[in-house]
A = this chain, B = another copy of it.
């Protein structure tokens, strides 16, 4: 039997500000990436998110970021490896403690936004992240963009990792993500997305934007919880894959 994980960013509300559809999406995902206060969230919202995940038995990971609340962590910053490493450790620990008060532990770490984009291409950044994760807890998984510098860093450092693919993003024939600036980078058709995810999981393959079948290796599929129609897309993916006998389970389980 084939199994797969669906991971989704959650806990991105901040103070009085609400973001995302956590309540609606939580029942349909298996792992969540919880914002840790550097790009979004705060201790009270983190705790609320943890309790919601607990209710549905969803695995929890930290979602550390550059310290850029006003930019939602989307802007790459020229931080040093030492700063990135310490920042990642700090954020993991903060979430860990909040989880511990609910009797839960962490499954993984997936970095956010600009830090993710930097780590995709920059081995020093990816290495700093991998080292930070391993230093806190060698049982934590690092969620890496499949086929990227992040995987290389995880292997070099010797941290456990999984590769992720994006449900609604187009891929180039080289297996990299099509830039969001390019037309067709994001796929909005729910049915097509579900079919693509099925192909990724069942056949370990997906059609590139140029039209070729390319290999995809992914233990987890990233879905979004904050876009219009997000919950419908997640449900549709689950339905399609379950019809095809695929089981949904957190990768660390």
Interface residues of chain A, those whose CB is within 8 Å of chain B, are 14-19, 37, 42-44, 46-47, 67-72, 75-79, 82-83, 86-87, 89-98, 100-101, 114, 132, 135-137
Contacts and interface: CB of A to CB of B under 8 A. Distances in A.
B89 A98 contact: yes
12 contacts: A14-B70, A43-B87, A44-B87, A67-B70, A69-B69, A71-B77, A71-B83, A75-B79, A92-B97, A93-B100, A96-B96, A97-B136
B90 A97 contact: yes
Nearest to A118: B78
A144 to B, nearest CB: 21
A64 to B, nearest CB: 10
Given A71-B77, A76-B78, A96-B96, A90 B14 contact: no
Nearest to A97: B93
A94 to B, nearest CB: 4
A136 B100 contact: yes
B44 A83 contact: yes
Given A14-B70, A47-B86, A89-B97, 20 more contacts: A14-B17, A15-B70, A15-B71, A37-B90, A43-B83, A43-B86, A44-B83, A67-B70, A68-B68, A71-B83, A76-B77, A86-B98, A90-B98, A91-B94, A93-B93, A93-B96, A93-B100, A94-B94, A94-B97, A96-B96
A249 B77 CA distance: 38
Contacts of A98: 86, 89-90, 93
Contact of A77 (B47, B75, B87, B89): B75
